[in-house]
Amino acid sequence: MEEQQLPQAPQDLENFFNIAFDGVTRAHLRKAAVWAKISTLCAFVGYGVVLIVAFIGQPVYSLGSNGEGLRRTVTATSIFGALLSVGAGIFINYFLYRFAVSSIRGIDSMDSVKANEGFSSLRRYFKILGICLIIVLCLLVLVIVFAGLGAATSRF
């Protein structure tokens, strides 16, 4: 009886929300993590292909007699763009990969700490995507505003 009246803070925190990762939930979470891992691995291989295309497989077209400088500019721009997009993609997908690995480990070993690490990586993944989306939306609004201003000034 006395044992029941003792405060059990650690156990309360362990089941604070009264939600368990039962067999079905664990199976769903494991499959989600496996598919997340597949998509990140595909993305990483895809980035390799993009880099190969940017460095080696430049499109062949004629640019006239003075086209060598323009060709170099196009090549440098495409390589820079590819490096930038691949770097951003690897940075974002790294968190998704960490979510997949930590969640699978956490579920397999029934380790809540590992599962929490996985959820934390998923949170960072969504957060980075959300921030990128906000930046893109802001740029889009700026483009629309400036296009509107440009159209209005050209009319008068």
Partner 1 sequence: MENLQEQSLLQMNLDYDGGHILHETVRWSRFLSIVGIVSISLMVLVFALAGTTLLGLLPKLAPSLASLADLGTALIILVLLVVFASLGFMVFMLFRFSVLIRKGIDQQDQVAFTEGIKCLKIYFLIGGIFAILGLLGNFVSLISIFLINRIHF
- Give the binding site for partner 1 (CB under 8 A): 3, 11, 13-22, 24-26, 28-29, 31-33, 35-36, 38-40, 42-43, 45-46, 49-50, 52-53, 57, 59-60, 106-107, 110-112, 115-116, 119-120, 122-123, 126-127, 129-130, 133, 137
Give the 3-state secondary structure of residue 61: coil
CB 132 within 8 A of CB 93: no
**Distance separating alpha carbons of residues 14 and 11, to the nearest angstrom:** 5
Pick the closer one to partner 1 by CB: 130 or 150. 130
Integer CA distances (angstroms), 123 to 59, 126, 130, in order: 40, 5, 10
As measured in angstroms, the least distance from the Cβ of 156 to partner 1 is 28
As measured in angstroms, the least distance from the Cβ of 32 to partner 1 is 4
